[in-house]
Amino acid sequence: MKSRTSRLDRFISQNSAFSLADTRLLIAQKRIFLDGRAAHSIQQKVTEFTHVVLDGCCLRDNRPVYLMLNKPRGVVSATKDSRHSTVMDLVDHPQKHELHIVGRLDLNTTGLVLLTNDGAWSRKVSLPETKLAKIYEVTLSKPLTDEYIRVFREGIYFAYEDITTRPARLEILSDYTARLSLVEGKYHQVKRMFGYFRNEVLALHRVSVGHISLEGLDEGHCRQLTCEEIAVIENQ
């Protein structure tokens, strides 16, 4: 998801009857306001969420939205699907049609899903370089051993992509359950990592992404992120 950012003069020429060259005069006459302040340079950046007013007329007034959802089993991480309910069916927000899903979960995987219309923010969540831990609770068909901890810490080679997974932290909770912390999200990564041991994942639940936790949010419900939750990721 690309964020829409452009120079002020280019934005004005694309969204009004004025040309690139006209923008300098408009600025000098204090006829352009960005987020409530008079513009001062043709090179100012206009993001997808900059409030832009020209001669009293609003040219852009997009608002960023950040939501978290506790996804139930059997719900698809998609905007529409002909066979299953989608996460969007569980969202009640006037801007829901603008949102995209940050870090999809499989049909039968439950837990934390983030939704936003802010492309730059969602990239920070998704990039392994941000080192944002995604924590899962896993239930398995066969008993776990300490060997899993070592192998997950060292990384597992995926031949199809010719990559080795980044170090992951595994905490064994019982013979058949564990808590797993990852900083990346390859295709079906958790199931494939346990598949290395030929151990089937029976249940998978994402409990947190970084400092954002499902605690207190009922299954099937969503809420807006707090300013603190948003800012911590913005500042990564």
Residues carrying an active site annotation: 106
Residue type, 141: S
3 state SS of 157: strand
Nearest to 142 by CA among 105, 185, 172: 172
Task: Quickly count: other Cβ atoms within 10 Å of residue 227's Cβ.
Answer: 9
CB within 8 Å of 82: residues ≥ 6 apart: none
Q: Kindly report the length of the chain.
A: 236
Cross-strand pairs, 112: 70
Euclidean distance between the first and the last CA atom of the chain, given in angstroms as a whole number: 18
Nearest-CA neighbor of 6 among 55, 49, 63, 37? 49
Q: Which amino acid is at 74?
A: G
Return the half-sphere exposure (C-beta side, CA atoms, 13 A cut-off) of residue 204. 20
